[in-house]
Amino acid sequence: MKKRKLGTLEVSSLGLGCMSISGAYGPKLAADEAGALLRTAFERGVTFFDTAEIYGPFLGEELVGAAVAPFRDDVVIATKFGFDLARPLAAGQSAPGFDSRPEHIREVCEAQLKRLRTDRIDLLYQHRVDPAVPIEDVAGTVGDLIREGKVKHFGMSEASADLIRRAHAVTPVTASQNEWSLWTRDLEADLLPTLRELGIGIVPYSPLGRGFLTGEIKPGDVPKGDWRSALPRFQGEAAEKNYRLVEALTALAVAKGVSPAQLALAWVLSRGDDVVPIPGTRKISRLEENVAATEIELSADDLAAIEGAVPASEVVGGRYA
């Protein structure tokens, strides 16, 4: 697989998002299953593995650490901090609160090193911005961890252009992780030009629209236990309308002799050599399908047809509830 650069960090042109192996979209994978999946990814050329403390929580990092241990020095591990996972959720609270206090970042980093079975984290992201902590303090703390050799690169996720500029002035930001796909193109207007001005790489998560763009999820298919069932785009009339866009994408894919997932992923890959998507999967067959997408070449006519089939302005429903 070809390589790309996130800032100065070289990785495979496609990474593997490891949220789903810890149970986000169904039962968690057993250690041997996760090991087989990540080992196969490595054998197919994937050298970039993305996880986070909140996946599980903690299980995702444990599974990744165990799986990549035999080839640790040949891969890049990315993980994330930024949530208060020690405090139980209050009544009516659906997600943990933020915590990017400098002392907490240090505590999390030490625990992550142990779970990941490593002496350094290649790319450490602030998972979500903590409005209670100045971004300069966050960037400064990660900068200290870099100088101590515990972290190699600093990343941010879902942060504004202004906050990234402020953080970058303290500690260079290597990558920004954002949702980016045919049905989510919010970052293109303001954030993307800033990232490219500063030489910061882009890591699109959910490049397949949390599976919807594969064509395998029809309206009403998502079971109640799956957290996607609460997302507006997957519900009722919105899902029906969005699925019509997927049908149009599928028709283009059939004509090109590829799957709709591969065509959607090839579109994200076409956005630039500073773009490294991290589709997640729990199945080796899907992994191999995604890897094959890195070999698809799209002409200007192909790109125009794809964007005409799935215009962002026609996507119905918000990203999150």
What are the pLDDT digits (tens) for 125-155?
999 999 999 999 999 999 999 999 999 999 9
- Is the residue at 229 inside a domain? no
CATH number (domain holding residue 150): 3.20.20.100
Domain range enclosing 288 = 3-208+270-297
Q: Tell whether 264 is covered by a domain.
A: no
Residue 311 lies in a domain: no
Report the pLDDT averaged over residues 98-123: 98
Q: Is residue 306 part of a domain?
A: no
- What is the dihedral angle through the alpha carbons of 54, 57, 58, 62, rounded to the nearest 10 degrees? -110
Residue reference for tokens 């990474």: 15
pLDDT over 70, % of the chain: 100
Mean pLDDT of 172-191: 97
The answer to whether residue 60 scores a pLDDT higher than 90 is: yes
Task: Give the Cα separation of 167 and 95 in Å (integer).
Answer: 25
Q: Is residue 246 part of a domain?
A: no
Q: Is the pLDDT of residue 225 over 80?
A: no
pTM, two decimals, is: 0.98
Cβ atoms of residues 37 and 46 within 8 Å = no
Q: Which of 27-41, 200-214, 223-237, 278-292 has the lowest mean pLDDT?
A: 223-237
What is the tally of structural domains in the chain?
1
Catalytic residue numbers read 55
Q: Is residue 201 part of a domain?
A: yes
Question: Does some domain include residue 106?
Answer: yes
Q: What is the pLDDT, as a whole number, of residue 136?
A: 98
Structure token digits, residue 143: 């900068």
| Average pLDDT of span 29-48 | 98
pLDDT, tens digit, for every residue of 106-118?
Answer: 999 999 999 999 9
- Residue 21's Cβ-side half-sphere holds a number of Cα atoms within 13 Å equal to 32
- Look at residue 147 and tell me if it is in a domain: yes
Sorting pLDDT into bands at 50, 70 and 90, what band is 94? Answer: confident
